[in-house]
Amino acid sequence: MTSILFICHGNICRSTMAQYVMEQLVRDAGRERDFLVDSAATSREEIGNDVHPGTRRKLAHEGVPCGHHRARQVTRADYATFDRLVIMDEENRRGLSRIIGADSEGKVTKLLDWTGESRDVADPWYTGDFDTTYRDVTTGCEALLAQLSRDGQTR
């Protein structure tokens, strides 16, 4: 089984969107037993809060189930637990490194790096544009799933 932890600043918008999109892609591929997917934050600002209403609305509009969620901060133990830690932007990389230290095993990647683009996932917290974020997240998750499947990285 391959475990993936999606990470953003607050764990209520982008990382939760990525979690639920990836879970849907995995279900659609009939690969539920091959993947464990979760999400977390680099900050403590939203701990305990549910998914942002804009994320919830966008996922519902796209037919992606969105469960109840309690934002949590990533921990040092998550680095040992998860095979992949997938961040949304460079600010997340800095926040994550303060928590886990060095990425000695090369587990940390930026979501859109999987698409061949080296840019950040649009942050709807600032823009209010959940459509662009959804497109970024979906494109990134599709590429991530395809690459992990090609590489046989599901165990």
* Residues belonging to the active site: 8, 14, 123
- Torsion angle of the four alpha carbons 101, 102, 104, 109, in this order, in degrees rounded to the nearest 10: 100
Q: How many CB atoms lie within 10 A of CB 154?
A: 15
DSSP track, 22-45: HHHHHHHTT-GGGEEEEEEESSST
Q: Which residue has the tokens 């639920």?
A: 20
Phi, psi angles (nearest 5°) of residue 148: -65, -35
Query: Strands of 35-41's sheet, edge to edge?
Result: 35-41, 2-8, 84-87, 108-110
65's tokens: 């189930």
Q: How far apart are CA 145 and CA 110, in angstroms?
A: 14
Contact 118, 38 (CB under 8 A): no
